[in-house]
């Protein structure tokens, strides 16, 4: 199984970023003659729309994640993680380098409140036994390998929990397996104790493939909001989610 991201997936977004950069230079050159654009949320999220969609719904690029409806503190933590290089993806690292905590809070809140429709679930391309393994790990875990059920923290309907656990529904399989791969290889970190690092290192390549395939083929529930804070007792401590 290929956990690394193909160069096409890296370069396409870089191209998008270059275009955004050029637009910035162009507007700077015009700034003297034209009145300064107001700093509205619409203007701010323009810089994100090419890759995440105006409402954070994601795009058909398998590697660009949905942001909409994830808890605000989760999104905020990720923006800070990119700024402080606990997560690495050059366009994201670059975009948030000079943004203040307040700015990141506001933009995280904006995307957490968006409710665009979910994409159609993916049609699985793996065997039925692989899908069954994925479903088993997500809903029940694997006690023999000390893997807790993903649903124990991400929720039975996979929409996450307030304030800082993301939903897993509506994400592409490639994005999910790339994130689990980054935790295993140490290129993605969360605040310690980093429960996802512990969990990801207990998964084999086959397990990662199985959970990513099953998760990406699930329908979003009718009311896709994160579970209330404290409504589940997480089986491991996670530094980013207050206990």
Rule CB under 6 A: which residues touch ligand HEC? 13, 16-17, 20, 47-48, 50-52, 63-65, 67, 70, 75, 77-79, 87, 89, 91-92, 95, 107, 137, 147-148, 150, 152-154, 165-166, 168, 176, 178-180, 190, 195-196, 199, 211, 234-236, 238, 240-241
Identity of the residue, 36 or 233, whose beta carbon is nearer to ligand HEC in the bound complex? 233
Write the CB contacts of 199 (distance below 8 Å, at least 6 apart in sequence). Answer: 147, 148, 183, 236
Binding site annotation covers 154? yes
Binding site annotation covers 219? no
Binding site annotation covers 51? yes
Binding site annotation covers 22? no
The gap between the terminal CA atoms of the chain, to the nearest Å, is 35
Q: How many angstroms separate the CA atoms of 133 and 131, rounded?
A: 5
The alpha carbon torsion through 175, 179, 181, 185 (nearest 10 deg) reads: 150
Binding site annotation covers 196? yes
DSSP annotation string for 194-243: -HHHHHHTTS-HHHHHHHHHHHHTPPPPSS-PPBPTTSS--SS--TTS--
Q: How far is the CB of 33 from ligand HEC (least distance, A)?
A: 26
Q: How far is the CB of 243 from ligand HEC (least distance, A)?
A: 10
Q: How far is the CB of 232 from ligand HEC (least distance, A)?
A: 9
Q: How many angstroms separate the CA atoms of 239 and 164, rounded?
A: 10
Q: How far is the CB of 2 from ligand HEC (least distance, A)?
A: 15
Locus of tokens 């034209």: 34
Identity of the residue, 227 or 238, whose beta carbon is nearer to ligand HEC in the bound complex? 238
- With contact defined as beta carbons under 8 Å apart, do 177 and 64 qualify? no
Task: Extract the annotated binding site for heme c.
Answer: 48, 51-52, 92, 150, 153-154, 196
């Amino acid at each position: 199984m290929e956990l690394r991201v193909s160069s096409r997936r890296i370069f396409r977004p870089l191209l998008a970023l270059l275009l955004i950069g050029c637009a910035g230079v162009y507007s700077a050159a015009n700034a003297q003659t034209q009145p300064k654009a107001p700093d509205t949320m619409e203007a701010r999220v323009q810089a994100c729309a090419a890759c995440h969609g105006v409402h954070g719904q994601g795009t058909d690029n398998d590697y660009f994640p949905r942001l909409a409806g994830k808890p605000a503190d989760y999104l905020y933590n990720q923006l800070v993680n990119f700024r402080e290089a606990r997560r690495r993806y050059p366009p994201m690292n670059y975009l948030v380098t000079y943004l203040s905590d307040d700015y990141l809070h506001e933009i995280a809140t904006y995307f957490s409140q968006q409710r665009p429709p979910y994409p159609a679930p993916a049609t699985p391309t793996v065997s039925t036994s692989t899908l069954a393994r994925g479903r088993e790990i997500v809903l029940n875990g694997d006690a023999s390998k000390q893997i807790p059920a993903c649903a124990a923290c991400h929720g039975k309907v996979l929409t996450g929990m307030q304030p800082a656990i993301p939903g897993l529904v509506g994400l592409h399989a490639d994005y999910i397996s790339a994130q689990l791969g980054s935790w295993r290889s140490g290129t993605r970190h969360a605040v310690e104790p980093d429960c996802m690092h512990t969990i990801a290192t207990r998964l084999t390549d086959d397990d990662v493939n199985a959970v990513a395939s099953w998760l990406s083929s699930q329908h979003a529930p009718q009311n896709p909001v994160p579970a209330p804070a404290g409504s589940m007792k997480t089986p491991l401590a996670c530094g980013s989610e207050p206990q």
